Structure 1
Amino acid sequence: MANKKNDPNHLGFGRLMAWKSSDIAMAGLNVIVLGYLSIYCSDTLGIAPAVVGTVLMVSKIIDAFTDIFAGWLVDNTHTKLGKGRPYELAIVGVMLCSLGLFSGSPAWSNTIKVVWIFCMYTLVFSIFTTLRGAANTPYTIRHFSNNPILIRKVASYGGIITMAGSMIVSILFPIVMSKLATSAGGWRTTVAIFVLPLLLISLLRFFFCKEDPSVDGGDEQFQPVRLNEIFSMFRRNKYVWLYAIIMLCYNISTSLAVTTYYFKYIIGNTAMMSVTSIFSIVLLPLMLVFPWIMKKIGGMSKMVGVFACIGIVGYIIVFFSGANLTGVLLGGVLGGLAGLPLAYYGVLFIMNCCTYNEMIGLPRMDGSAGILAGFMGKCGGAMGSFITGILLSIGGYIAAEGTVEQPASALMMIRIDYSLVPAVLMIVIAACSFAFMKLEKQIPAWEAAQKAKAEAAPAENA
């Protein structure tokens, strides 16, 4: 036991749980907001799906400014608490404003409803989530002392914990929703039942996970990052663009917010969404061997590409399954498998982008390297709702409180949105991931050369 504690690569369960507490809370919250906001707006507040999608899309324009500012702000933060840790408290704003999203009233005018949703959604994603996301990579690197072995362990084993927490919410929320969310007040109560405990869980990381100040080499090593260096990275680092496109497509696929529509109108029972989440539990043991799979496949980016190809097959199965729950469950598991590496290995993509910055003579920019991916990811989150709103409107979807008989064209659009749209997105993810492999192959040789150069320097000076 003593040897384990002295092992720099040892990851204790308590430390892992404290670190992942924030991610568990965010994953659970995303299940609620990304999965149910659209249908809440259309079927409870009576806002047309196209309007909902447009409002969420427009709110993301603000990210063009907030993501750049947040990354620059984090890279230039130097406090006693650390570089990334102070911004972890932004999760409080995320939780409270998410509750505000589901606190509208059908009695309000249409204008007030739209403005309310726009403001709350912007605060959740463009402000508070942006700050937390920009700080996540620097916080991770500094808490785990820039140890790639530990960070990979956290991504793999912690991913299981995060996914398990997400599944619990995915299983329980539809059940509670079907019982309570029959009115605007019922929706508010339902969301509060989940958000308030998630808020308490989310604060564990901030209070128990400190940063290692030695990673920055002390106060004398701190170098502020200039805005022109960030824009230079956009021009010269093609890999930040590849990862940004990957995150754009991934976030579109996870935020289409069409699952509830599919189970309400195609399957005919929203409570069966819980069965889908339960069925996905089979993916959890697979994550235990992710490091081994990554090694066998030949790297992180290749693994993401291969899994994306598996997802394409899964979504095609879903489309041809229609109302057949067995086929939907099987295809859904394969589709969900595609996103697992991306959901939990994103920090490794960003670390590689930081290394490439050094390779081309730029600062590492741990906070700023994820700016573009963060911006594109959030745009993807809004585009998902926008695409769903447009497709449903084209299909002639009828927005009204309760359940109404939808035309066949609307039902077909729901099926396309739930299966074929994600399949196309997975094709793009696979292509970008395979292109990212070039950098992943170059890094070991470059790092070895840098190490040899550093070791030779003292001898030359002597």
Structure 2
Amino acid sequence: MFGKKRKENPARIGVGKFWAWGSREVSETTNVLIQGYLMFYCTNTLHLNPGIVGILLAVSKAIDGATDLVAGYIVDKTKSRLGKGRPYELCIFGTWICTFLMYSCPEGWGDIMKYVWVLSMYILVNALFNTFLNAGETVYMVRSFRSEQLVRINSYTGLISSGVGFIVNIITPQLVERYSSVHGGWSRIILTLGIPVLIIGIMRFVFIEEKYDLDIFQKTETIRLKDTLHMLRKNKYVWIIVIMTFITQLGSQVGLGTYYFQEVFGSIGLQSLTSAVTILALPLVFVFPKSIKKWNVRDVMLVGSICSVVGSVVCFISNTNVAMYMVGWLIVGIGSLPGTYLIKLMIFDSASYNEWKKMHRMEGTIGAVQGFAKRVGGALAAALGGLILMAVGYDAEAVTETAVMGIRVGQTLLPAFSSIIGIICLLFYDLDHKMPQINADNEKARKEALEAQNSAKTSEN
């Protein structure tokens, strides 16, 4: 009885490995949240036209979308001693250096130079460094964790992301309110937040190695452009992921949150309350692994999308009622969790579907196509946010009721509409039901291929 060893749980992830992998979530989440203040920085500190800023950000994100496709192709072709996706983690340094420079534009410059500076740094951050970070992440993950661990690592690192978001969303509005009007204040804000999270974020590269070889069928084959085009024609699930990602970004990234709190509630500092409320939803992350076993990824995401619609409508109805807005925001936060943390599982499953259909897995390419949709959706959202402000005649010195209503609609009802489109897309996603057979067939094929390779080597010797 005492001699029996406890059976190892294949889904178990060591504490050290969990925190090492999750370390870059700290950096990524902080950077995304800081960029959410860019429109506010441009209009209220650099005194630039919101419509022009929105259009320029849209152009830069369109460029970003194009580089996503190139980055995914490059990552899928990468072969190095460090691995396939791991080398691109070093792009984190470029991300933070250029983010600092983006928020350090000399205020004495003319408007044209300000536009050029902000646009250039924004393109470097998002179209180059973050693009390769994102393109390499999925490839890196599936080669560093067993298949049984993927649901857990995706769900539980979501706790890190949400926890960091909670802290940053409390700290940043206070820093913005205190330093944004001070000369060099934005540079101070970026350094205060950026240096610690950069040091933490590089820990993934330092401690996590790629251990699992998923390219057993591709040792002598090179991925070509026509392989990518063939995959896009044959794999409908990639298109469902693309449409969902695009419409979600279009509805949620208009960048009007800071304006909402300043003009509707009268205080940017109150925006910190949204994080205090959102943290209440975090325990639900622990439910994801079990809920996916009981239901599936699609059903969990459907429930989340419905919650997002309801919460967004509550936020709109709340008007100037802060308490009611926070209730709606909590519901939105609960609804956003599945889409945020489970979309990568849909990418993994789509790659397995490719393998099942005797195509290259191409996680990097699928991730890049999804990233392309994310950038293009974000680009249009950025333009839309600026155009909404311009259309309603927003002027920081004299805010009208029309401007306030435009901000309210863009911040609440637009996300509700995007969630409804997401629900429609999910109704066509039926890959979950096929995955048990797909995984079994793929595992069998890999073992047979490995045995054939070993047999060939033995014969040669």
**TM-score, normalized by length of structure 1?**
0.92
Contact 1:319 1:415 (8 Å CA) reproduced: yes
1:415 is aligned, of 396, 403, 408, to: 408
Contact 2:65 2:127 (8 Å CA) reproduced: no
Judged with a 3 Å threshold, the aligned counterparts in structure 2 of structure 1 residues 127 and 454 are, in CA distance, closer, same or farther, namely: closer
Amino acid at match of 1:225: I
Judged with a 3 Å threshold, the aligned counterparts in structure 2 of structure 1 residues 266 and 361 are, in CA distance, closer, same or farther, namely: same
SS of residue matched to 2:143: helix
2:424 equivalent in structure 1: 431
Judged with a 3 Å threshold, the aligned counterparts in structure 2 of structure 1 residues 4 and 429 are, in CA distance, closer, same or farther, namely: farther
1:12 is aligned, of 7, 11, 14, to: 14
1:169 equivalent in structure 2: 168
Contact 2:352 2:438 (8 Å CA) reproduced: no
Judged with a 3 Å threshold, the aligned counterparts in structure 2 of structure 1 residues 3 and 189 are, in CA distance, closer, same or farther, namely: farther
Contact 2:351 2:363 (8 Å CA) reproduced: yes
Judged with a 3 Å threshold, the aligned counterparts in structure 2 of structure 1 residues 389 and 184 are, in CA distance, closer, same or farther, namely: farther
2:458 equivalent in structure 1: none
Q: Distance in 1 between matches of 2:445 and 2:108?
A: 69
1:369 equivalent in structure 2: 366
Amino acid at match of 1:371: A
Q: Distance in 2 between matches of 1:120 and 1:338?
A: 33
Judged with a 3 Å threshold, the aligned counterparts in structure 2 of structure 1 residues 85 and 454 are, in CA distance, closer, same or farther, namely: closer
RMSD: 2.3
Q: Deviations over 1:21-55 (max 9, x none)?
A: 10121001111112x11111011111111111100
**Does 2:81 match 1:80?**
yes
1:307 equivalent in structure 2: 304
Contact 1:24 1:163 (8 Å CA) reproduced: no
1:441 is aligned, of 401, 412, 433, to: 433
1:181 equivalent in structure 2: 180
Q: Distance in 1 between matches of 2:404 and 2:446?
A: 63
Q: State the shift of 1:452 in Å.
A: 6.2
Contact 2:216 2:446 (8 Å CA) reproduced: no
Worse-superposed segment, 325-334 or 374-383: 374-383
Judged with a 3 Å threshold, the aligned counterparts in structure 2 of structure 1 residues 216 and 232 are, in CA distance, closer, same or farther, namely: closer
Judged with a 3 Å threshold, the aligned counterparts in structure 2 of structure 1 residues 451 and 84 are, in CA distance, closer, same or farther, namely: closer
Q: State the shift of 1:307 in Å.
A: 0.6
Q: State the shift of 1:213 in Å.
A: 4.9
**Does 2:327 match 1:330?**
yes
Contact 1:253 1:425 (8 Å CA) reproduced: yes
Judged with a 3 Å threshold, the aligned counterparts in structure 2 of structure 1 residues 407 and 48 are, in CA distance, closer, same or farther, namely: same
Judged with a 3 Å threshold, the aligned counterparts in structure 2 of structure 1 residues 456 and 43 are, in CA distance, closer, same or farther, namely: closer
SS of residue matched to 1:435: coil
Q: Deviations over 1:71-122 (max 9, x none)?
A: 1111111111000000011111111111111111332111111111111111
Q: Distance in 2 between matches of 1:161 and 1:346?
A: 17
Judged with a 3 Å threshold, the aligned counterparts in structure 2 of structure 1 residues 451 and 208 are, in CA distance, closer, same or farther, namely: closer
Judged with a 3 Å threshold, the aligned counterparts in structure 2 of structure 1 residues 3 and 33 are, in CA distance, closer, same or farther, namely: farther
SS of residue matched to 2:428: helix
Q: Distance in 2 between matches of 1:103 and 1:408?
A: 33
Q: What 5-or-longer segments of structure 1 have no aligned partner?
A: none
2:224 equivalent in structure 1: 226
Q: State the shift of 1:184 in Å.
A: 4.7
Q: Distance in 2 between matches of 1:12 and 1:182?
A: 45
Q: How does 1:197-208 map to 2 (within 5 A)?
A: 197-208=196-207
SS of residue matched to 1:115: helix
Contact 1:305 1:431 (8 Å CA) reproduced: no
Q: Distance in 2 between matches of 1:246 and 1:294?
A: 19
1:397 is aligned, of 394, 398, 411, to: 394
Judged with a 3 Å threshold, the aligned counterparts in structure 2 of structure 1 residues 213 and 304 are, in CA distance, closer, same or farther, namely: closer
SS of residue matched to 2:90: helix
Q: State the shift of 1:217 in Å.
A: 4.6
Q: Deviations over 1:162-202 (max 9, x none)?
A: 11011111111111221112135111111211011111111
**Does 2:29 match 1:31?**
no
Amino acid at match of 1:33: Q
Q: State the shift of 1:320 in Å.
A: 0.6
Instruction: Give the fraction of aligned pairs with identical amino acids, expressed as a percent.
Output: 33
Judged with a 3 Å threshold, the aligned counterparts in structure 2 of structure 1 residues 334 and 43 are, in CA distance, closer, same or farther, namely: same
Q: What 5-or-longer segments of structure 2 have no aligned partner?
A: 456-461
Q: How does 1:46-125 map to 2 (within 5 A)?
A: 46-125=47-126
Contact 2:10 2:148 (8 Å CA) reproduced: no
Q: Deviations over 1:329-366 (max 9, x none)?
A: 01111112222112222221111111222233321112
Q: State the shift of 1:68 in Å.
A: 1.8
Contact 2:65 2:375 (8 Å CA) reproduced: no
Q: State the shift of 1:4 in Å.
A: 7.7
Q: Distance in 1 between matches of 2:389 and 2:48?
A: 13
2:265 is aligned, of 260, 267, 291, to: 267
Q: Distance in 2 between matches of 1:252 and 1:187?
A: 27
Q: State the shift of 1:137 in Å.
A: 0.7
Judged with a 3 Å threshold, the aligned counterparts in structure 2 of structure 1 residues 125 and 318 are, in CA distance, closer, same or farther, namely: same
SS of residue matched to 2:240: helix
SS of residue matched to 2:264: helix
Judged with a 3 Å threshold, the aligned counterparts in structure 2 of structure 1 residues 454 and 101 are, in CA distance, closer, same or farther, namely: closer
SS of residue matched to 1:379: helix
Judged with a 3 Å threshold, the aligned counterparts in structure 2 of structure 1 residues 454 and 363 are, in CA distance, closer, same or farther, namely: closer
Judged with a 3 Å threshold, the aligned counterparts in structure 2 of structure 1 residues 366 and 17 are, in CA distance, closer, same or farther, namely: same
Q: Deviations over 1:140-161 (max 9, x none)?
A: 00111xx222111111111111
1:318 is aligned, of 305, 315, 320, to: 315
Contact 1:4 1:10 (8 Å CA) reproduced: no
1:128 equivalent in structure 2: 129
Query: How many matched pairs?
Result: 449
Judged with a 3 Å threshold, the aligned counterparts in structure 2 of structure 1 residues 199 and 110 are, in CA distance, closer, same or farther, namely: same
